[in-house]
Amino acid sequence: MALRHAVLAALLDEELSGYQLAKAFDMGVANFWHALPQQLYAELAKLEHEGLIAGREVVQETRPNKRLFKVTRAGLGELERFAAAATKPSFIRDDLLVKVQAADHVNADALVAQLTERITFAEAKIDLFEALLRTMRGDLAEEEFLLRGDRVGPYLTCLRGLSFERANRDWYERTVTVLRERAGR
């Protein structure tokens, strides 16, 4: 997947400025695609040049003018082609896993500290995803929302992000327990 597809997907629901797009990435898209704000601005320029998004200038009286972007028919066609194409399996690429792989030969205390830090990070993300999911479904129960709610795609990706972070937290906690028990032998 290229950044272009993540940007197109993020612009499906509403017109967004570059700043709003960066915030949208932080809140939802970041659970499956990471991009820095400068990468997003560069991608917006490319997508507009290719006709996959359209930008319009919004004049603001007390602030600098801003540009809002929306997906064009050509952009929807690009997303359709992307959705129909074969998908490669994902893989984990995490430097902490390399460190744990070497756990028998490195300082276990340093690993425990890093794993504990990751537990805190995962718990914060879990809280964020749970709040996003509650906001998206409103007064509907989850199963009702999944059957009849608006825009199930973002909800499903947030569910995946929640599951991912819970699994990470559980693995970090178990690994900390194992390393501490082995150090106490």
Q: Tell me, what's the pLDDT at 179?
A: 97
d(CA 95, CA 92): 10
pLDDT digit string (tens) for the chain, length 185 residues: 588 998 998 898 889 999 888 887 766 666 677 788 899 999 999 999 999 999 999 998 999 999 999 999 999 999 999 999 998 888 888 999 999 999 999 999 999 999 999 999 999 999 999 999 999 999 999 999 999 998 898 899 899 999 999 999 999 999 999 999 998 86
For residue 168, the Cα-to-chain-centroid distance in whole angstroms is 15
Containing H/E element for 112?
Answer: helix 108-137
Q: Tell me, what's the pLDDT at 114?
A: 97
Phi and psi at residue 88, in whole multiples of 5°? -80, 145
Q: Tell me, what's the pLDDT at 35?
A: 81
Q: Tell me, what's the pLDDT at 154?
A: 87
Could you tell me the maximum CA-CA distance found in the chain, to the nearest angstrom?
68
What pLDDT, in 10s, does the model give residues 64-110? 999 999 999 999 999 999 999 998 888 888 999 999 999 999 999 99
Q: Tell me, what's the pLDDT at 1?
A: 59
